[in-house]
Amino acid sequence: MTPYHHSHHKPSDDMPAFLRRLRQLKPFLAPLGVIIVIIGIILTVQQVQRLQEVRKGAFAGGAKLLMTSDADNNEIKEGNDFTVNVLLDTQDNDVTAADITILYPKDNIELTSVDLGSFLPGHLSAPVIQNGQVNFALARNPEVSVTGAGVLATLRFTALTKSADPLQITFGPTTDVTATENPETNIIDTATPLSVRVKASSVVNGSSLLFESSKTTVAPNEEFTVTTILDPKGRQITGAEIRMKYPADKIDVIDVVEKDLLPLPLQKDLTSTPGTAVFAVASSTSQSATTSGEIAVFTLRAKATASGSVPITFSTATKVSELGELDLNVVGEMTGISVTVAGGPLSPVPSTTTPTITPTRAPSPTVSVSPTPIVYKATLNGDQEVPPVTTQASGTAYLYLYPDRKAKITVRFSNLGSPQELAHIHGPAPIGSNTSPLFNLPVGAFTDYPITLTAAQVLQLTNELWYVNLHTQNFGNGEIRGQFALSNEDPNLTPSPPVGEPTNTPFPTATPQATSMVVSIKIPTIGSIGAETNPVNTSRSVNIEMYQGTVLARTVSGTLAYDGTVFKGNVNVGAGFESGSYILKTKLSNTLRKNLGTYTVNTNIILPVATMIMGDTIDDNKLNIFDYNVLISCYEARAGTDDCKNEKDLADLNDSGSVDSTDYNILIRSFEDQIIGD
- Residue 15 pLDDT: 56
Half-sphere exposure of 107 (CA within 13 A, CB side): 2
Q: What percent of the chain has pLDDT over 90?
A: 26
Q: What is the DSSP string of 169-187?
A: EEE-TT-EEEESS-TTS--
- Yes or no: say if 470 and 417 are a contact pair by the CB < 8 Å rule: no
Residue 552 and residue 548: Cα distance in Å, rounded?
7
Q: What is the pLDDT of residues 312-344, one digit of tens each?
A: 999 878 889 888 887 788 888 899 999 999 875
Helix (H), strand (E) at residue 605: strand 605-606
Nearest to 79 by CA among 211, 232, 241: 241
Interstrand relation of 337-341 and 264-269 (parallel, antiparallel or unpaired): unpaired
Sign of CA dihedral 522, 528, 530, 534: positive
pLDDT digits (tens, 9 = 90+) for 39-49: 665 555 454 44
User: How many Å apart are CA 537 and CA 545, to the nearest integer?
Assistant: 23
pLDDT on residue 235: 92
pLDDT at 27: 61
157 in Cβ contact with 79 (< 8 Å)? no
Alpha-carbon dihedral sign for residues 109, 113, 114, 118: negative
Average pLDDT over residues 664-677: 82
- Which of 237-241, 302-306, 442-446 has the weakest average pLDDT? 442-446
- Report whether pLDDT(91) > 80: yes
The answer to whether residue 126 scores a pLDDT higher than 90 is no
Strands 337-341 and 217-218: parallel
Q: In the predicted model, what is the mean pLDDT of residues 598-626? A: 83
Q: For residues 270-306, b (16+ Cβ closer than 10 Å) or e, as one string?
A: beebeebbbbbbbbebeebbeeeeebbbbbbbbbeeb
Among the listed residues 188, 190, 193, 199, the one whose alpha carbon sits nearest the alpha carbon of residue 164? 199
Strands of 441-576, DSSP E: 446-452, 467-472, 480-483, 485-486, 516-522, 539-548, 551-562, 567-572
pLDDT at 40: 62
When mean pLDDT is compared across 16-20, 236-240, 557-561, the lowest value belongs to 16-20
Of 483-497, 535-549, 592-606, 636-650, the one with minimum mean pLDDT is: 483-497
Given this model, what pLDDT does residue 271 score?
Answer: 86
Q: What is the mean pLDDT of residues 512-521?
A: 70
| Residue with the larger pLDDT of the pair 118 and 129 | 129
For residue 174, pLDDT beyond 70: yes
Contact 395, 402 (CB under 8 A): no
SS3 content of the chain, % helix, strand, coil (to 5): 10, 40, 45
The more confident residue out of 177 and 31 is 177
pLDDT at 202 over 60: no
Q: What is the pLDDT of residue 228?
A: 96
Instruction: Determine the Cα–Cα distance for residues 269 and 315; give it in Å rounded to an integer.
Output: 14
pLDDT higher than threshold 90 for residue 121: no
What are the two backbone dihedrals, phi and then psi, of residue 147, each rounded to the nearest 5 degrees? -135, 165
Q: What is the pLDDT of residue 617?
A: 85
Nearest to 285 by CA among 667, 660, 666: 660
- Compute the CA torsion angle 46, 50, 56, 58 (nearest 10 deg): 100
pLDDT band at 345 (very low <50, low <70, confident <90, very high): low
Of 96-100, 102-106, 153-157, 499-503, least confident by mean pLDDT is: 499-503
For the stretch 224-260, pLDDT in tens is 999 999 999 999 999 999 999 999 999 999 999 999 9
For the whole model, what pTM was predicted?
0.50
Summary mean pLDDT of the chain: 80
My answer on whether omega of the bond before 388 falls inside 30° of 0, hence cis, is: no
Give the torsion sign (CA, 414, 415, 419, 420).
Answer: negative
Residue 572's contacts (CB-CB under 8 Å, 6 or more residues apart) are: 515, 516, 556, 558
What does the pLDDT read at residue 349? 42
The proportion of the chain whose per-residue pLDDT surpasses 70, expressed as a percent, equals 81
pLDDT in tens, 408-436: 999 999 889 888 888 999 988 889 888 88
- What pLDDT score was predicted for residue 636? 83
The pLDDT of residue 395 is 93
Instruction: For residue 404, give the DSSP letter.
Output: T
- Return all residues near 579 (Cβ < 8 A) that are at least 6 apart: 512, 515, 600, 601, 602
| CA distances for 201 relative to 107, 313, 335, 366, angstroms | 17, 20, 18, 51
| C-alpha distances in Å from residue 326, one per residue of 112, 286, 627 | 26, 17, 8
Strands 133-139 and 95-103, bridge-based pairing:
antiparallel
Minimum mean pLDDT range among 161-175, 446-460, 569-583: 569-583
